Structure 1
């Protein structure tokens, strides 16, 4: 049988070669017997009146059997060699795709993705997928099936169908995965900015409540909120998330999770923005009051 896999077929091939390694030895023995037999026939023919037909027939049958066995041994060795090659190629293609799918599933299931570098590594992985792998798998499977009897081909067909199905599933999910990654990265960035902004608001509010130098507080406020561009960065994150959410729902119309997340974030930012405006109003009321007082 050729269906046991590369190692099993290789073992058969090794045994086959070992057994038929003495073919030349037996061929030389047969040639020697043929020479002896010819000499005997020649001597008998000279003597006359002896029927050599049966002996000649047996000798011919022996030669025919030897030729038949050796020729078929060569054919069988070729089949075994071809089967080993086909099994190797098929298993190699199978391994490459299985390894890629396993890595893809690991990446998709990753929970802690908080840097742009990680997102980029995911992008590179999924964008560099080699479509030829599946083509090679199908081709090597066909080559292998050509080596096998029809009743031994089903496991090969099942393996190819399983890998093709998984391949399509992962590739169809990959764009969604990458969109979610970019969304989560923007979301993480947003929360970090908001955390820093709220920390700054609290610091300035406390300084204001303690009636510290108002000009220093106003200068700090302008530096943080205007020059550093924290507010613009937050708004950029929100716009990016909205765009991703819009694209995502085009791919996955039934999944509104990103839109829900965007709404939550916009509400959160609206609350923080009101705090920023309120603080600025407080800070600028004091100079205005002083100006009015000095009129």
Structure 2
């Protein structure tokens, strides 16, 4: 017996087998037409001879014609059902694949630990900013089309798959803004620590120069150039302001997670 469940490949295999078997339908139909003509000629000859009952023969011939018509009509119906099922399975699996691939990529990006360039942050922003809600709509629609092909007792796996992907989709999208805030925070945090290293190095150089009793005016000029003209202090304070903003926004979204607040407090104390 034919079945529409089991996935695209299983249904396609049945369709191929079905089409191969019924590919000679026209040949057998022509044989039946020829057989009917021969039979009618025989009946005419018998009728002319008279006194011969052809009722049983007529009934058998009619039964054969009816069976052939029934089989060929049902073969066409099942071929259409199988073709529709193949199409529905293909469309559903394709939507399922697109969303699964996106979710996998999203989870990989969220789990990245070392993100220290603005370019990487921008890549994440673009990725999470170009979410195509149409994908979920298409998934639901293709799932419904597929379920329409299947008996009710074979629909549960399709429903489960859609519900699982929808749940994961919502989970990832709800976390995406938090992820981006953390990225921005960590980027400024990295920049802050780089500045601190530069400042400590500069102070150490100036301290050594002072200890060696080098020209104080030269040391002061160097100090002014580094801390004032280059705007290092202003840039560091801007980093801290940015981190405070990200930490506050993050806490507003995720009150139970205090990690960024703790980090920015530590940085403020260090500064």
After TM superposition, the score normalised by the length of structure 1 is: 0.91
When the two structures are aligned, how many residues end up with a matched partner?
269
Which of 132, 135, 155 does residue 133 from structure 1 map onto? Answer: 135
Q: For structure 2, list consecutive stretches of 5 or more residues without a partner in the other structure.
A: none
Matches within 5 A, 1:40-79: 40-79=42-81
Q: Note the C-alpha offset of 1:256.
A: 1.1
Alignment correspondent of 1:13: 15
- Distance in 1 between the 2:262 and 2:67 partners? 82
- Distance in 2 between the 1:155 and 1:6 partners? 14
- Distance in 2 between the 1:207 and 1:147 partners? 84
**Corresponding residue SS for 1:51:** coil
Alignment correspondent of 2:87: 85
- After superposition, the C-alpha distances for 1:56-109 in whole angstroms (9 at most, x for unaligned) are 011001000000000000000000000000000000000000000000000000
- Distance in 2 between the 1:209 and 1:268 partners? 26
- Distance in 1 between the 2:5 and 2:164 partners? 19
- Distance in 2 between the 1:220 and 1:92 partners? 64
Alignment correspondent of 2:257: 255
**Corresponding residue SS for 1:107:** helix
Question: Which structure 1 residue ranges, 4+ long, deviate > 2 Å from structure 2?
Answer: none
Q: Note the C-alpha offset of 1:4.
A: 0.8
Q: For structure 1, list consecutive stretches of 5 or more residues without a partner in the other structure.
A: 270-295
RMSD of aligned alpha carbons:
0.5
- Distance in 2 between the 1:219 and 1:91 partners? 69
Which of 192, 202, 205 does residue 203 from structure 1 map onto? Answer: 205
Q: Which has the larger radius of gyration?
A: 1
Alignment correspondent of 2:35: 33
Alignment correspondent of 1:215: 217
**Corresponding residue SS for 2:191:** helix
- Distance in 1 between the 2:160 and 2:209 partners? 71
Q: Note the C-alpha offset of 1:2.
A: 1.0
- After superposition, the C-alpha distances for 1:175-234 in whole angstroms (9 at most, x for unaligned) are 000000000000000000011001101110111111101111010000000000000000
Q: Note the C-alpha offset of 1:154.
A: 0.6
- Distance in 1 between the 2:155 and 2:64 partners? 38
After TM superposition, the score normalised by the length of structure 2 is: 0.99
